Amino acid sequence: MALEMADEETIPLAEEPQPDPELEPDPDPEPEADPAEPESVLESVEPSQESMETLTVVLSKKKDGYGFNVKGGRDKPFREGDPSIYITRLRPGAVAEKDGRLSPGDRIVEINGTDVLNVTHNEALDLVRKSKGGKLTLVVHKRAIQMTEQDDNPTHGVIRIDLQREKKGRGLGFNIRGGKDSPYVPGDPSIYVTRINGDGLAAKDGRLTVGDKLLEINNVNVENSTVDRAVDLIQSKKKLQLLVEKRALQQVVRSVREGAVDSQRGKESAIELYKDPEFGLGFNIRGGSDANYLRGHPGIFVTSIKPGGSAERDGRLKIGDRLLEINGVDIRSVPQDAAVQLVQRSVDKVKLLVENDAEKLFKNSEFYSLSDFDEIDFSGEAGCFFRDQKRRIDFVLVYEDIEGEETPKDVLRYRKKYMNNLQKSQLEFEEETSTTKKGTLHFIKVHVPWEVMLFYAEELNFKGPLKEREGADKINWSERILNKFHIPNIFKNDVPNQPPDYFTATFQANKLHKFVGSDHPETYFKDTERTRVANEILETAVYGNRNKGEIGELPFLFNLNIKS
């Protein structure tokens, strides 16, 4: 069980999480302002009422929302003494920008016929989100204030960093994302550092951090470059010279998420569960500030519910819900280990406060699109793990959505049922997407948790090592037979540093402590054994009617399947 938390409302984005996870936008649309980072806009003297143009704008909501951000309100004034609500950002390519009539600096006078000149910030957002039929009517004062960018907080600054590659061993140890061909934030061509790996040169040097913007690479300006050009420059020399703007990403992402009218929060529910002597609480969770379940989201999410357990019998907790509190303790901003301890300290029952459908809502938001990307990795490490660098990839399911072609409804229905049944088997998943010329490729990474491996190791009669053979050569049956007939073994060859030979026995989970290496769950099972278990579950999961044999036809549900 892995948990974690971090409240987007109490942790400003500018505070960088530790240890260095990938920094991505927190999904909360209304973060608290960081006093160390002043507002990056200046307002001019307000024009006279007579010179203002009053305009009525009607917007039709699309899949990605209306696409604008607001600031202000009676409780959070954008300007001292002014309770008005102002438009501060239009999302590139979204409805509001395409309409062309709204612009940053417009004051909102009415929302759907309700006067908003003296309302709170949240009251204004609620009026937008409750628009009926996807129609939003705004009355605005055009150009009520003028907004111009000013320099970021000078305490962040620009610094030069030199990294010298080692002949052998560790890589550079950082990942980048962005460029004018694949911007990290819509409309921003900058290239950002998005991950620092703990064992790399960058971590050892200590000056490069998540959120830094690359200005120059080996004395070449890359502020409006493609990511491929940046990669070529980084790989061109043994000594890497970087000019970076510190913590620039935090400032950019702040403007993207702050006051976004399209973000949504799920309904909060209080649930009390009793611990079952056999199954415990009966559900698994993932997430946390040190190991995001959804990249860029610090929350802890329910990832599976055990059949017959307390959670399933209660019926209220669902896969995709986010845990907000455990026994009255806020877990939005604590490491995952702390959350686990809260559960373990509970004697017979646990009180939970959860946000329903939080995973689904986040995936449908603009913030998830900022998180869903392929990084350029200079860590020198293999990509055989989930993004938390802890869970191993045991299998990959792949399917492609072809642009302009509609996937058959029965395939969509079967695929959904199949994935739901896999979740009931307690497999864990992480999805990545990649845009191609034809459409979108979906990569579903599959991980078999330790508890599931133990169950299937016994079911499939795996052999486990009990004790190392000491003082005896490894048994070679062919050589023994040849010696019996006095025939020389022409294939005999002394091999140095042979792996140890063990006495083995059929695996039994209740005698786990007797098997050599069982105290290291991450390495106990071989890759072949992990893949075999994943294959067994995938090939036996039902996607349709079990009586009709509609079981585990992966080529029918997925275009391609890749074993890890």
Please write the tens of the pLDDT for every residue from 200-238.
788 788 888 878 899 999 999 999 999 889 988 998 888
Average pLDDT, the chain: 78
Share of the chain above pLDDT 70, in %: 76
User: Over 80: is that where the pLDDT of 336 sits?
Assistant: no
User: Over 60: is that where the pLDDT of 292 sits?
Assistant: yes
* pLDDT score, position 368: 57
User: Over 60: is that where the pLDDT of 302 sits?
Assistant: yes
Q: Are residues 415 and 517 in the same domain?
A: yes
Q: Are residues 396 and 319 in the same domain?
A: no
CATH number, residue 226: 2.30.42.10
User: Over 50: is that where the pLDDT of 24 sits?
Assistant: no
Highest mean pLDDT among 249-253, 293-297, 307-311, 477-481: 307-311
Residue 167 lies in a domain: yes
User: Over 50: is that where the pLDDT of 152 sits?
Assistant: no
* pLDDT score, position 474: 60
* pLDDT score, position 207: 87
Lowest mean pLDDT among 46-50, 66-70, 394-398: 46-50
User: Over 90: is that where the pLDDT of 102 sits?
Assistant: yes
Of the three residues 149, 183, 201, the one that is the final residue of a domain is: 149
**Spatial CA neighbour of 105 closest among 69, 73, 81:** 69
Q: Are residues 546 and 411 in the same domain?
A: yes
User: Over 80: is that where the pLDDT of 556 sits?
Assistant: no
Residue 513 lies in a domain: yes
What would the pLDDT profile of 435-466 be if each residue is shown by its tens digit? 777 888 888 999 999 889 999 999 999 999 99
Lowest mean pLDDT among 28-32, 247-251, 312-316, 327-331: 28-32
Residue 256 lies in a domain: no
Section 300-324 average pLDDT: 88
* pLDDT score, position 47: 53
Q: Are residues 50 and 169 in the same domain?
A: no
Section 237-248 average pLDDT: 89
Lowest mean pLDDT among 117-126, 152-161, 172-181, 494-503: 152-161
* pLDDT score, position 137: 95
Section 293-297 average pLDDT: 69
Q: Are residues 298 and 422 in the same domain?
A: no
Section 467-474 average pLDDT: 69
Q: Are residues 57 and 88 in the same domain?
A: yes
Give yes or no for a contact between 59 and 99, defined as CB atoms under 8 angstroms apart: yes
Q: Which pTM value belongs to this model?
A: 0.43
Q: Are residues 277 and 198 in the same domain?
A: no
Alpha carbon of residue 2 to chain centroid: 14
Cα dist. 264→36, 96, 125, 261 in Å?
Answer: 28, 18, 10, 8
Q: Are residues 237 and 309 in the same domain?
A: no
Q: Are residues 204 and 294 in the same domain?
A: no
* pLDDT score, position 553: 67
Take residue 175 and report the two structure tokens written for it. 């990942």
Residue 468 lies in a domain: no
Q: Provide the domain count of the chain.
A: 4
Section 281-286 average pLDDT: 83
Confidence of residue 472 (pLDDT cuts 50, 70, 90): low
What is d(CA 290, CA 297) in angstroms, rounded to the nearest whole number?
11
What is d(CA 39, CA 35) in angstroms, rounded to the nearest whole number?
9
Section 273-280 average pLDDT: 79
Confidence of residue 390 (pLDDT cuts 50, 70, 90): confident
Q: What are phi and psi for residue 133, nearest 5 degrees?
A: 65, 20
Section 277-295 average pLDDT: 75
Residue 18 lies in a domain: no
Confidence of residue 321 (pLDDT cuts 50, 70, 90): very high
What would the pLDDT profile of 496-520 be if each residue is shown by its tens digit? 667 778 889 999 988 888 899 888 8
Confidence of residue 99 (pLDDT cuts 50, 70, 90): very high
Range of the domain at 558: 391-462+507-564
Residue 254 lies in a domain: no
**Spatial CA neighbour of 355 closest among 1, 7, 84, 2:** 7
User: Over 80: is that where the pLDDT of 564 sits?
Assistant: no
Q: Are residues 414 and 546 in the same domain?
A: yes
User: Over 70: is that where the pLDDT of 560 sits?
Assistant: no
Of the three residues 132, 149, 166, the one that is the final residue of a domain is: 149
Question: Which of the pair, 362 or 464, is modelled with greater confidence?
Answer: 464
* pLDDT score, position 243: 93
Residue 357 lies in a domain: yes
Residue 36 lies in a domain: no
Give yes or no for a contact between 4 and 288, defined as CB atoms under 8 angstroms apart: yes
* pLDDT score, position 295: 62
Q: Are residues 545 and 403 in the same domain?
A: yes
What is d(CA 19, CA 37) in angstroms, rounded to the nearest whole number?
22
Of the three residues 149, 171, 206, the one that is the final residue of a domain is: 149
Give yes or no for a contact between 232 and 193, defined as CB atoms under 8 angstroms apart: no
Confidence of residue 360 (pLDDT cuts 50, 70, 90): confident
* pLDDT score, position 271: 94
For the chain, how far is it from start to end, CA to CA, in angstroms?
Answer: 23
What is d(CA 60, CA 137) in angstroms, rounded to the nearest whole number?
9
Q: Are residues 53 and 120 in the same domain?
A: yes
Residue 484, strand partner residues: none
User: Over 80: is that where the pLDDT of 400 sits?
Assistant: yes
The residue whose two tokens read 């191609």 is 436
Section 529-537 average pLDDT: 92
Highest mean pLDDT among 327-336, 364-373, 532-541: 532-541
